[in-house]
Structure 1
Amino acid sequence: MKGLLTTVAAGVIAGSAMAQDFDLDALVEAAKGEPPTTVYAVTGKIVETAEAFNAKYGLNVTGKKVNEAGQVDLLIREHQAGSITGSVSLASDVAVIVTDLVAQGVVESWVPGDIAQHLAESARDPLVVVSDPHVWAYNSEAQDTCPVTNVWQLVDPDFARLVAIMDPLEKPMYADWFNQLAEHHDDAMAAAYEAHYGKPFEGDSATDAWVRAFAANGPLVADSSGVADAIGAPGQEKPFFGMLSAAKFRDNADKGYKLAICSGMQPFAGWLYPGLGVIAKGTPAPNTAKLFIHYLLTEEGIAAQSVDGKIPADPRIGLPAEEASGIGAHLGELMVWDTASSDSDLERRQDWQDIWMTELNR
C-alpha cells in the first residue's frame, strides 16, 4: 500500500480535485500497517506532538529535536545508507532543503489534498507547515516604547555594542535573511536609509551597506537564550535591543522577562522563516509520514508550536489567546520569506557570512 496516495505538486491539480481524491481514512489504515518511525524538528515540542499523534491514531512515531544542520546531515546519511530512520523533517534549512535535498531526491514535498486549497500558493511547493517569526524586540520595563524606529539607527554610535542577535555563522537563516533583503527588498532598505539620514542612499546595495555597518557596530552575538537574556532580563538599566524568535517570549511568563515587539520599525519589524515539512524518500513508513504531515497542518497538530507564536500555514488556524508575544497583531509588518530564491540564498550564504565575520572582527 506504499503508493496509496499520489504526491501532489502544488498548482498542478485544482484544490477541489485534490480534496476529492484525498481519503484520510484510507491513509490512516495504510499507516497502521507500517513500522514505527521518527520525525525530526528543530523544536523540542515535536516530542509532545508525536505523543499526541500516537494517541490519536494508535501509531508509533518518535519525535526528536535536531537542529537545522543536524537534520540535513541525518537525511543525507540515511538516504545514502538506504536505511531511513527519520521519515519527516520539519523546519530544517530552507535553502538546502529546496536547492539540494529536493533536487537530489533525498526528500519530497507532499501536500494533503483536503488542505492544499486553503494554503497560499507560496506555501504549497515546497510545503510550508508553519512559519517562525523573528522580530526586533526591546525591554518594556526599561523603556516605555521601542527606542528604535529604523534599522539604520542600529549602525549609529548610540547603539554600538547594544544590539543582540543570533550568530549568522551558526544560524545560516540569518545570513539568508540578509540575502532575502538584498534580493527582494533593497529598495525598502534604501528608503529606510533616506528616512533616517535625510538623503538618498548612494551605492549598489543598501542591504550590503547596512550589514557591513551593523556588524562593524559591535553587536552581541549569542544563541537564542543569550539574546533573550540580554534583551529581556528584568532589572537592567540599559538593556540590549535585538532580534529573536517570537517563541522566546514565553520567557516573559517563565522567567519574568520583559520582552516586547518593536512595532512600526522601518522597513520591517522582523521576518517569517518558513518551516518546511518534507518526507524522506525511501522511508518504510510513507503513509505514516504523510499522515503526520497532515496532522501538523491541523489546529490540534500544530497547537504545541502555535502557542509559542509559530504561524500555521493554514490561515483558518489562528494563534491561541495565551500566545505570549502578541505577534498576531504585527504580521503585516514582517518580511515574508520567498522560497523561490533559495538557490541564491544558498549560493550567496558564504559571501554574507564572510562579510559579517570580516566586519565584526575589525
Structure 2
Amino acid sequence: MSRFSQSCLFGAIAAGFMLAVAPAGAQDAFDLDGLIEAARAEPPITIYAVTGKIVETAEAFTAKYDVQAEGRKVNEADQVELLIRESQSGNVVGDVSVAADVAAIAAQLAPFDIVESWVPGDIAPNIAPEWSDPLVLVNDPHVFTYNTEVNASCPVTNIWQLTEPDYARKVAMLDPLVKPNYADWFSQMEMHYDDAIAQAYESHFGTPLETNERSATAAWVRAYAENQPLLGDSSSVAEAIGAPGQDDPFFGITSVAKYRDNAASDFKLGLCTGMEPFIGWLYPGPGVIASGTDSPNAARLFIHYLLTEEGIGPQAVDGKISTNSDIALPSDEPSGISDHFDDLMTFSMATAEADFDARQDWQDFWRLHYSR
C-alpha cells in the first residue's frame, strides 16, 4: 500500500499533543437534545474561521437550532492572537475557532489551556484517532495545478522539475513568510517524507541525491527557493495559474477551494495528477473551543454541526475533506480530488509542536535562498 494511501489520510498517524477535553465518559453519554436545550439557555456565540463561508454557516446553524451564532472570517495567525489576548483579558469574544494555525495551537494555546477540544460521542466512532485529539474538522488539500487551456495534461511529473531552469520564476505559490503553514509543510516533509523526496530525485535525475544539506527536503527547498517562485495570496496565485487567455501561464500550488473559479471566472485550473512523490498535501483544520467561553454548550453544538453533512456542506463543495468518514465530497466538487486521496501527503498532528519550533528556521532558510 502506498505511504500516501487513503488509509494514511484516515487512520495511520499516531495522535500527538493533548488539549483539555471533556471529562471521561462525557462523550459516551452524548445527548443531542439535551445539548440543544442547554445551548438555547446560553449567550450568543461567535465563531472565528478562515473561510468567509462561516457567515452563512452560522446563520444556518441559528435557523436550525434557534441558538444565536455569528461567523467571522479571521485568518489563521490572527485567530491565535485573538484567542491569546481574549484569554488573558478574561473577555472571550471568539467562542469557537475553526482552522486556526495548527502548529501555533500546539505550542501557544494547548499548553496554557486557552482552548479545549471536544468530540461529540455520536460522531466519535467515525473520526480516526489522529484527528480526534485535538479534533480536526476538515483537511484542506493544497495541490499542484496547471492551466488546462494551454496544456492538454500536467506538464510536471516530479517535484524536482520545479528546481530546473525551465521553471525559474514560473511557479506560483503562497509565501511561506506570510502563510507559515507552507513553512510547516517543509518541516513535515523533512520529518516524515524525506526518503520519498530523495527517491523522487533519483527517479527524475537517474542518480542518487548527493547534497551538503542536512536532508533531501532541505536540498529541494533550497533549489526550489533559488528558482524564485512567484509569491502571492490565494487569489493572485490561482489567477497566475488559471486565468484564461494566457500564452505562458504559471504552474503552481493552490488550495482546491480555488477551483470554484473555473465556473465563477472561467479559470482553467487542472489537478496535476501523477506527480512524484505526491500531488499536494493536506492541511488540517482543527475545531477548538475557547476555554473561557460563557456558552460551552452552544460552542459544542456548533462543533457537532460542523461534523454533519449539512454543517460542512459549504466547505465540502470547495474540496475540504471532513474527518467524519460518513461524509463524502460532493460529486460535483470541481477539482476531482476525491479520486486522488492516495497521492496526497498527509500532515502528522503528532509533530505539530515541532513544526512550530522549526518554523522560524525554515522561514529563514527560505528567505536566504529565495533572495539569491
Alignment TM-score, normalising by the size of structure 1: 0.95
Q: Which amino acid aligns with 2:99?
A: A
The answer as to 2:305 corresponding to 1:295 is yes
SS state at 2:112 partner:
coil
How is 1:274-285 mapped onto 2 (pairs within 5 angstroms)? 274-285=284-295
Aligned-residue offset at 1:49: 0.3
SS state at 1:320 partner:
coil
* Alignment correspondent of 2:148: 140
**Mapped partners of 1:250, 1:133: distance in 2:** 14
Q: 1:82 aligns with which of 81, 85, 90?
A: 90
* Alignment correspondent of 2:263: 253
**Mapped partners of 1:282, 1:184: distance in 2:** 35
Please give the per-residue CA displacement for 1:57-89, whole angstroms capped at 9, x wherever unaligned: 001100000001110111011101101111100
How is 1:325-336 mapped onto 2 (pairs within 5 angstroms)? 325-336=335-346
SS state at 1:102 partner:
helix
* Alignment correspondent of 2:50: 42
Contact 2:27 2:119 in 1 (8 A): no
**Mapped partners of 1:7, 1:25: distance in 2:** 21
**Mapped partners of 1:318, 1:346: distance in 2:** 31
Aligned-residue offset at 1:100: 1.9
Q: 1:242 aligns with which of 243, 248, 252?
A: 252
Q: Which amino acid aligns with 1:276?
A: P
Contact 1:110 1:278 in 2 (8 A): yes
Distance 1:7 1:343, change over 3 A: closer
**Mapped partners of 1:341, 1:7: distance in 2:** 19
* Alignment correspondent of 2:10: none
Please give the per-residue CA displacement for 1:162-189, whole angstroms capped at 9, x wherever unaligned: 1001000000000000000000000000
SS state at 1:279 partner:
strand
Q: CA RMSD in A?
A: 1.3
Query: Structure 2: which 5+ runs fail to align?
Result: 1-19
Q: Which amino acid aligns with 1:189?
A: I
The answer as to 2:228 corresponding to 1:228 is no
The answer as to 2:177 corresponding to 1:158 is no
**Mapped partners of 1:114, 1:294: distance in 2:** 9
Q: 1:306 aligns with which of 307, 310, 316?
A: 316
* Alignment correspondent of 1:199: 207
**Mapped partners of 2:232, 2:293: distance in 1:** 36
**Mapped partners of 1:246, 1:158: distance in 2:** 25
How is 1:260-271 mapped onto 2 (pairs within 5 angstroms)? 260-271=270-281
SS state at 2:104 partner:
helix
Aligned-residue offset at 1:330: 1.0
Aligned-residue offset at 1:8: 4.0
Contact 2:52 2:73 in 1 (8 A): yes
The answer as to 2:234 corresponding to 1:218 is no
The answer as to 2:31 corresponding to 1:57 is no
**Mapped partners of 2:87, 2:164: distance in 1:** 48
Aligned-residue identity in percent: 60
Aligned-residue offset at 1:18: 4.2
**Mapped partners of 1:202, 1:218: distance in 2:** 22
SS state at 1:86 partner:
coil
Contact 1:107 1:280 in 2 (8 A): yes
* Alignment correspondent of 1:185: 193
The answer as to 2:74 corresponding to 1:66 is yes
Q: Which amino acid aligns with 2:363?
A: Q
Aligned-residue offset at 1:322: 2.3
Contact 1:8 1:113 in 2 (8 A): no
Aligned-residue offset at 1:117: 1.0
Alignment TM-score, normalising by the size of structure 2: 0.93
Q: Which amino acid aligns with 2:254?
A: L
Please give the per-residue CA displacement for 1:254-302, whole angstroms capped at 9, x wherever unaligned: 0000000100101110011000000000100000000000000000000
**Mapped partners of 1:98, 1:291: distance in 2:** 23
Aligned-residue offset at 1:99: 2.1
**Mapped partners of 1:32, 1:98: distance in 2:** 31
SS state at 1:227 partner:
helix
